[in-house]
Amino acid sequence: MKTVKRTVCDPNCHANPKCGISATIEDGRITAIGAAKYPKPGLEKRICMMGSSRLDYQYHPDRLKTPLKRGGPRGSGQWEAIGWDEAVQLFVKNQQAAIDKYGSRSVMFSSYTGAFALLTRGAASRYAALTGGTVGLPSGIDYGVPTGLQYMFGVPAYTYFAPGSHQFADMANSKVSILWGINPVVTRSVDHLPIKAARKSGTRLICIDPVYSESARLCDEHISLRPGTDGALALALAHYLIDNGLIDEDFLRNHTDMPFLLDGYEDKKVWCSTQGKAVPLDKAQTPALTGSDKHITVFDAFRDMVSAYTLPIAAEITGICADVIEQLANTYAAAKPASIRLGYGIDRWFYSDCTARAIAALACLSGNIGIPGGGVSLSNSPPSVPVRGSAFYAPEGHSPGGALTMMDADKAVRTGKPYPIKMECISLGNPFNQLKPGRTDILTDYIPNLDYLVVIDHFMTDTAKQADLVLPACTIFERTDIVVDSILQLQQRMVEPVGEAKSDFEIFALLAEAMGHGEWFSGTPEDYIAKMLDIDDPKMADVTIERLLDEEVIDVHKRKEPWYGFADRKFPTGSGRVEFYKPGQAPYGSELPVYREPIEASPKNPLFKKYPLVLLSAHSRYRIHSTFANMPSILAREPEPIMRISPQDADKRALADGAIAKVQNDRGTLKIKCKVDEAIRPGAILISEGHWTEQFIEGDPYILTHDQYSETAQNYAHYDVLVEVSAA
């Protein structure tokens, strides 16, 4: 018998909403998949090539089918298939040993972003709460920009600025839109069509990127800059706007901390030009943007700081002609409403928080905040459907023993501080591929410090290969769950799991039972989904599990116009205003969004003589990080890793198209096929991320990155890497 059922594709791809997939099932097996319809008017069914490969994925011969116990040394590839009883016994025996010796929080549950379904993501956290374990947070990459935006606008970094951003569809309201370090044609493939529509309807599009990307080709103008110098460009634009009176003083006075005095900042003191003295804001008749000889405002300090970034100096730093910078400033200032779209190209740098603040400053200086067609946006997401995730993540009366960011977790594993992590259970991620930088060090001084490593996955990934125990997980067709973004969608089990695979929910339920906490996982997935939907919010009044099982997709917002943030001009900061000045950043010298050279990829670095090329590792159109890298339909399109290099740099090194190149720095060496490509700026090379290490001829690019992380950006600097290339 043939049936058709609906589920949802849910990897870390930024699609919003995630794409519905309809699957044809015959005799208990999926035989075809395609894009599923949405009930929401105006939302067309869509699917990208990765979503289309989900059928390959489901029945891939390499799917893990049983639990596997390591049979030889770690990483040796020797495995013994075992049953679930033994797997559970091994897990809890090792967990109990770690608890007895080091305490319950020495066992860390690191759940990454390979899936966004809530039970699947939350099962590890729930179990960690029940057993007092540590929750490993998936911060550390793509976190610098949200963190910088949090400093300014108060929106928590973990929301990726969704509440403050504008949807792509709002770009049709912009006269000008700047795509800054973002390549949405590739990274937001199913969502980028409104950008094309905006251009057709007259929005002028400008792309700022060292690479002439697929998105740059959509734009009216492409501005190429030296990688990592975006902050200097932003400060030069800010200087130009201020110097030429192209700023919205009312916005700055009424909605930002610009009038606050540095010597009375916490008390919101301002300089009142009518009274001629410093007074609290609520007592001021006319708060001034500039203070007096003795009382400096935030605006004064910011203006003085950016005055160093004249056009010639910015041109020298960024490699952009001064007249292009001047023209950009004039175009942006003259075109209200104007929008800026940020991407992760500016994120993977040591000072990415400052860069985000400097760019966001432009939107504030020009008064482009809280208006249709304006804004500085990181996300394309309107606020999510409100559900009570904590009803599942945080079982009543229990809480995890700790929560560590990826950087703090790395420290804890390596140094035992702030407390030792001795066992790790990794799910929904492949962090030992490209995510954790400095892979060689990961293999030599991270993994050996773990007494026991468990990985839950569908395939034997680079991370799973290092494990002591590998547990086979269910796919989107084999589990019941919900995916929550701008709409609510049901993910439903429609076929039996391949082999003995189990859903993350089922795996942690088994473990909880073995650890004496079985009653906390005794409900069905539907029971816990019902609890999450039971929330005191008028929009959710008629949303029940029964309705969701029946309708499969529910649009609770019923929004017709594109979302844009801060329409009420209310900012969740301490002052209730946009905050340019952050006294807490004083230890780092970044009370204001200063520019600093990249920590490694700078001509000022003595290493630059030996390694003069910047290694960029952007997202690929063929993978979501490392997910789908082993799908036959994807490999048919990009069979092997490629290094893209400019004709100038290729000539200097006698490298022809298709030649095998050696890419190296002091951390390692990689051999890879090269493609001579005019789209790449001289001085940089591009190897897109996510290929599995076994797919490289020799070495891999993940050993070339370093693991210096920024405490203020809460981020690793994956792009801030120097290399040299030669013929292999």
Residues that bind ligand SF4 (CB under 6 A): 9, 11, 13, 15, 18-19, 47-48, 50-51, 189-190, 624
Where are the extended beta strands (E) located within 117-184? Answer: 134-136, 176-180
**Shortest distance (Å) from residue 697 CB to ligand SF4:** 28
**Shortest distance (Å) from residue 652 CB to ligand SF4:** 38
Q: Which of 490, 509, 598, 505 is nearest to 551 (CA)?
A: 490
**Shortest distance (Å) from residue 379 CB to ligand SF4:** 15
Burial class (CB in 10 A: 0-12, 13-18, 19+), 515: middle
Pair of tokens at residue 553 = 């997709």
24 three-state secondary structure: strand
Q: Which is nearer to ligand SF4, 189 or 573 (CB)?
A: 189
**Shortest distance (Å) from residue 264 CB to ligand SF4:** 49
Burial class (CB in 10 A: 0-12, 13-18, 19+), 606: exposed
Q: Which is nearer to ligand SF4, 18 or 517 (CB)?
A: 18
- What are residue 270's DSSP bridge partners? 260, 279
Q: Which is nearer to ligand SF4, 362 or 629 (CB)?
A: 629
Q: What sign does the CA torsion over 394, 397, 398, 399 have?
A: positive
Q: How far apart are CA 648 and CA 651, in angstroms?
A: 5
**Residue 583 half-sphere exposure toward CB, CA atoms < 13 A:** 12
Pair of tokens at residue 697 = 């001829």
Q: How far apart are CA 426 and CA 466, in angstroms?
A: 11
Residue 162 contacts residue 193 (beta carbons within 8 Å): no
**Shortest distance (Å) from residue 197 CB to ligand SF4:** 18
Q: Which is nearer to ligand SF4, 438 or 690 (CB)?
A: 690
Pair of tokens at residue 374 = 């304006």
Q: Which is nearer to ligand SF4, 599 or 635 (CB)?
A: 635
Q: How far apart are CA 189 and CA 249, in angstroms?
A: 38
Q: Which is nearer to ligand SF4, 168 or 349 (CB)?
A: 168
Residue 452 contacts residue 481 (beta carbons within 8 Å): no
**Shortest distance (Å) from residue 28 CB to ligand SF4:** 24
Q: Give helix 504-514 / helix 84-102 axis angle, nearest 10°.
A: 60
Q: Which is nearer to ligand SF4, 13 or 507 (CB)?
A: 13
Residue 213 contacts residue 620 (beta carbons within 8 Å): no
Q: Which is nearer to ligand SF4, 624 or 680 (CB)?
A: 624
Q: Which is nearer to ligand SF4, 623 or 644 (CB)?
A: 623
* Residues in contact with 619: Cβ distance below 8 Å, sequence separation at least 6, in sequence order: 183, 186, 187, 344, 625, 688, 689, 690
Q: Give φ, ψ of 606 to 5 degrees.
A: -55, -30
- What are residue 221's DSSP bridge partners? 206
Pair of tokens at residue 206 = 């400008």
Ramachandran category for residue 48: left, alpha or beta (phi over 0 → left; psi -120 to 50 → alpha): beta
In the complex, residue closest to ligand SF4 by CB: 51
Residue 674 contacts residue 646 (beta carbons within 8 Å): no
Q: Which is nearer to ligand SF4, 187 or 352 (CB)?
A: 187
**Shortest distance (Å) from residue 100 CB to ligand SF4:** 43
**Shortest distance (Å) from residue 113 CB to ligand SF4:** 12
Q: Which is nearer to ligand SF4, 9 or 195 (CB)?
A: 9
Q: Give φ, ψ of 560 to 5 degrees.
A: -100, -40
- What are residue 481's DSSP bridge partners? 491
Pair of tokens at residue 14 = 């930024």
Question: Residue 483: which H helix or E strand, with range?
Answer: strand 481-484
Alpha helices, H only, 292-400: 298-306, 311-318, 322-334, 352-365, 390-393
- Letter for the amino acid at 6? R
Residue 113 contacts residue 120 (beta carbons within 8 Å): no
**Shortest distance (Å) from residue 211 CB to ligand SF4:** 21
Residue 141 contacts residue 348 (beta carbons within 8 Å): yes
* Residues in contact with 519: Cβ distance below 8 Å, sequence separation at least 6, in sequence order: none
**Shortest distance (Å) from residue 47 CB to ligand SF4:** 5
**Shortest distance (Å) from residue 89 CB to ligand SF4:** 36
Q: Which is nearer to ligand SF4, 35 or 672 (CB)?
A: 35
C-alpha 459, offset from chain centre: 23
Q: Which is nearer to ligand SF4, 162 or 409 (CB)?
A: 162
- Letter for the amino acid at 685? I
